[in-house]
Amino acid sequence: MLHPLIWVHDRLTDLGFQLGKLCLGIILFSYSFEVVSRYFFNAPTWWADEAVSYSLCIGCFLMMPHVTREKGHVAVTFLLELMPAQRAKPCYWLIYLLGFLVCGAAFWINLDENIRQFVRDVHLMKVKPIPKYYISVFITFGFGMSALHFLRFLDYRKIEIDQRPAGGESYE
């Protein structure tokens, strides 16, 4: 049976994945509504741009732990692929360790900023100002959860050499 903490981590990652999809749905709806409203009814919305920018930021970082779990982050791995498996394995381990440390540091930096924004009551200067930490807390979530996924990859026995640490998808 999976350790309860691992189970919780996976379910939170799944939830982030589904909500990340929802955010993209909100972006699609908001801009479609805006175009129709503006050009057919001459009634531009005040909220579409804000909904889109917030959804983009929130969706990106809600989806991030799932991307990390799937080892979907872009990486230039051709040198690692040229290595014999026995040499590549410790390299992958080091990359995962670095991933954990860097994402952990980014988590801490963003958490610190969230607390600062909360204490100083920082608001976003938009048509309808909202506390900044409402949005930026998702960045902290994304890095924190990703750090935990990198931590879980550190189990040396489970490192599979045919699985690249990243680069499964691209975007050119």
Partner 1 sequence: MVWWAILLIGLTLLLACFLSGMPIFIAFLLINIVGVLIILGQPGFGMVANSIFETTNFADLSAIPLFIMMGELLFRSGSIDILFDSVDKLVGRVKGRQYVLCIALSTVFGALSGAAMGVAAMMARTLFPGMLDRGYDARMSTGAILAGASLAPIIPPSVLVIIIGTLANVSIAGLLIAGILPGLMLAGMFLVYTLTRVRLNPKLAAEDTATSTAEVTFAEKVRAVVRVLPFAMIIFCVMGLILLGVATPSESAATGVIGALATAAYYRKLDWKMFSESLASAAFIASMILVIMASSKMFSQLLAFTGSTRELTQVVADLGLSAHVMLFIMMLIPFILCMFIDQVALMLVVIPIYQPLIRSLEFDPIWFWLLMLLNVTVGGITPPFGYTIFAFKGATDRVSLQQVFSATWPFVGIFLIGMLVIAAFPPIATYLPTLL
Is 67 near partner 1 (CB under 8 A)? yes
Give the length of the chain: 172
Please identify, among the stretches 3-11, 14-22, 155-163, the one whose residues bind partner 1 according to the rule CB under 8 A.
14-22
Is 161 near partner 1 (CB under 8 A)? no
Q: How many residues bind partner 1 (CB under 8 A)?
A: 63
| Least distance in angstroms from the C-beta of 32 to partner 1 | 5
Is 66 near partner 1 (CB under 8 A)? yes
**3-state per-residue secondary structure call for 83-112:** CCHHHHHHHHHHHHHHHHHHHHHHHHHHHH
CA dihedral 125, 129, 132, 137 (to 10 degrees): -140
Between CA 54 and CA 135 the distance in angstroms is 7
Is 34 near partner 1 (CB under 8 A)? yes
Q: Report helix, strand or coil for 123.
A: strand
Whole-Å CA distances, 122 to 14, 18, 129, 161: 31, 29, 10, 46
| Least distance in angstroms from the C-beta of 43 to partner 1 | 15
Residues that bind partner 1 (CB under 8 A): 17, 20-21, 23-25, 27-28, 30-32, 34-35, 39, 49, 52-57, 59-61, 63-64, 66-67, 70, 72-80, 91-92, 95, 98-99, 102-103, 105-106, 109-110, 112-113, 116, 132, 135-136, 139, 142, 165-166, 169-172
